[in-house]
Amino acid sequence: MSQLDFTVDVYQNEYLLDGGKDVNAVISVTAPQAVSAPAVTPDGAEIIIVDCSGSMNAPQTKMAAARTATTTALNGLRDGISFAVIAGTDRAQPIYPPDGSMAVADPRTRVAAKRAAVVCLRPGGGTAIGQWLRLAHHIFASKPSALRHAILLTDGKNEHETPEQLEEAIKLCEGVFSCDCRGVGTDWNVEELRRISTALLGTVDIVPDPAGLSADFAAMMKAAMGKRVADVALRIWTPRQASIRFLRQVAPAVEDLTDRRAQSGAQVGDYATGAWGSGETRDYHLCLQVAPVSAGHEMLAARVSLALGSTSAQHLLGQGLVKATWTDDEALATRINPHVAHYTGQTELAELIHEGLEARKDGNEDTAKIKLGRAVALAQSSRHDDTAKLLARVVDVVDAATGTIRLKKKVAQSDEMTLDTRSTRTVRTRK
């Protein structure tokens, strides 16, 4: 095993009954520890994008909190990292460095940037997030080989450009930089930010109270500085006549990667996963269909490896094998692997919350009650305490085990949005 090797563990029941075609596996991938991978630590480039629309002034503490958070984030920059700060309204403006280049972090530039943030992050104008992304894209262009990451903060919806314009900007930025998105307050749109964070391989979260921004920015910057390996893709080989039904990230959060496939060989596809921190673990659920063979045969259903670099086939880090073995033994074939069962449940939990909240918004209370009730039961049985707590702020739990609930008459907007935003987060299986 080389020092750069990712660890790939496969959990599955490989046994299929005669004629069986569906293969399910949970693939747990862990990045190497930083100490063993100094050679791959690339240069970093970081851009902080702060919403300066007029609404950031209501309440006034919001803009002030955003300034403080930006200062905190700037303090977290490692020396030598390239960085920039953008103010976003219905257009985008580089506030540091003001010429739209990138500065190199050192004590002097950090102070200068903090001053610029205090002076220039002022509310006034609209919201056109696509414009912000385009400027970040332009600025990052001077650092093509760096590990590029952005933090995007907004308090509102994308009102001053069309959804198509935003979509175009997202497409432009895909694969160029990763972006963690934060919504402060409750006037922004969860789906909108999720779309950006998903496409740009980042996270999305709500900061209901502006007072929480500083801590959140510090944590985001710490995570960004901890990234060690850039442009990692899951590379999956499958046999001829096999098809991938879906590939989902299932931990730390549910994320469908199926449509992210880029063909990289006759029977090989790559799925971008962005940058990885040292020792970071992510779990994936792979479901595929293979051409059945008679009992007594074994087939390699998928070979999963990690490809480093956007196009190179030469850096393959670690691999795991997903197998299919046909048998007459019904007891053997019908066993469900506990990891697969757990994450199937976690995915269902996220879907139930999403559908339940949608139904509630549409005034379809019966459906909302059923979906959210089942979500409560699933959260309890899978010991997902965080989600259980968030659910309890939206529904009155009568009996968690059976999923008996009542919809709360009055629900704080922030509670509903928090549940929506964090519904895709999962808990890992316990061994």
Partner 1 sequence: MIAGPRLSPTGACMSCGGPASPQDNFCESCGTELAPASVSNDEPAAAQACRVCPSAPVSGDGYCEVCGRKAPGSRDHQEVDLGLLAGVTDRGLRHYRNEDAMALATADTPSGPVALAVVCDGVSTSDCADEASLAAARAAIGVLLTAVRRGEDLPAASVAAVRSACEAVTSLDSPLGNAPSATFVSAVMSCAAVTVCWLGDSRAYWLASSPDSAAQRLTRDDSMAEELVLAGLLSEADALASPQAHIVTRWVGEGIDEVEPHVATFEPPGAGALLLCSDGLWNYQPEAGKLAELALPTALTDPPAAAAGLVNFALDAGGGDNVTVVLAPFPPTRSRLPRAPFPDGSGPIRCRGEAQQ
Interacting residue with partner 1 among 55, 158, 197, 325 (CB under 8 A) = 325
Which amino acid is present at 242? A
Interacting residue with partner 1 among 78, 115, 245, 297 (CB under 8 A) = 297
Interacting residue with partner 1 among 97, 239, 279, 345 (CB under 8 A) = 239
Interacting residue with partner 1 among 300, 370, 407, 411 (CB under 8 A) = 300
How many residues touch partner 1 under the rule CB under 8 A: the total is 23
Catalogue the E-assigned strands of 155-280: 178-184, 204-207, 227-237, 243-251, 255-256, 262-265, 268-277
d(CA 248, CA 257): 5
In this complex, which beta carbon is closest to partner 1, that of residue 176 or of residue 244?
A: 244
Binding mask 262-291 for partner 1 (x = CB under 8 A): -----x----------------------xx
Smallest separation, CB 3 to partner 1 (Å): 21
User: If DSSP codes are grouped into helix, strand and coil, which group holds residue 170?
Assistant: helix
Smallest separation, CB 297 to partner 1 (Å): 6
Pair of tokens at residue 6: 């990712």
Interacting residue with partner 1 among 118, 287, 295, 392 (CB under 8 A) = 295
Interacting residue with partner 1 among 140, 177, 276, 326 (CB under 8 A) = 326
d(CA 387, CA 254): 13
Smallest separation, CB 298 to partner 1 (Å): 4
Note whether 118 binds partner 1 by CB under 8 A. Answer: no
d(CA 329, CA 318): 32
Smallest separation, CB 16 to partner 1 (Å): 11
Q: Spell out the residues 6+ positions from residue 399 whose beta carbon is closer than 8 angstroms to its own.
A: none
User: If DSSP codes are grouped into helix, strand and coil, which group holds residue 239?
Assistant: coil
H-helix or E-strand spanning residue 92: strand 92-96
Interacting residue with partner 1 among 328, 365, 385, 396 (CB under 8 A) = 328
Smallest separation, CB 150 to partner 1 (Å): 40
- In DSSP terms, 394 is beta-bridged to none
Whole-number Cα distances in Å, 41 to 36, 38, 146, 316: 11, 6, 10, 17
Note whether 10 binds partner 1 by CB under 8 A. Answer: no
Q: Which residue pairs from 402-406 have beta carbons closer than 8 angstroms and sit at least 24 positions apart in sequence?
A: 402/377, 403/373, 403/374, 403/375, 403/376, 403/377, 403/378, 404/373, 405/369, 405/372, 405/373, 405/376, 406/369
Whole-number Cα distances in Å, 75 to 12, 105, 110, 150, 214: 45, 10, 7, 15, 11
Which stretch in 86-94, 221-229, 297-305, 366-374 sits in contact with partner 1 by CB under 8 A?
A: 297-305
Interacting residue with partner 1 among 106, 298, 362, 396 (CB under 8 A) = 298
Smallest separation, CB 246 to partner 1 (Å): 19
In this complex, which beta carbon is closest to partner 1, that of residue 197 or of residue 238?
A: 238
Binding mask 208-237 for partner 1 (x = CB under 8 A): -----------------------------x
In this complex, which beta carbon is closest to partner 1, that of residue 253 or of residue 293?
A: 293
Would you tell me which residues interact with partner 1 (CB under 8 A)? 237-242, 267, 290-291, 293, 295-301, 303, 321, 325-328
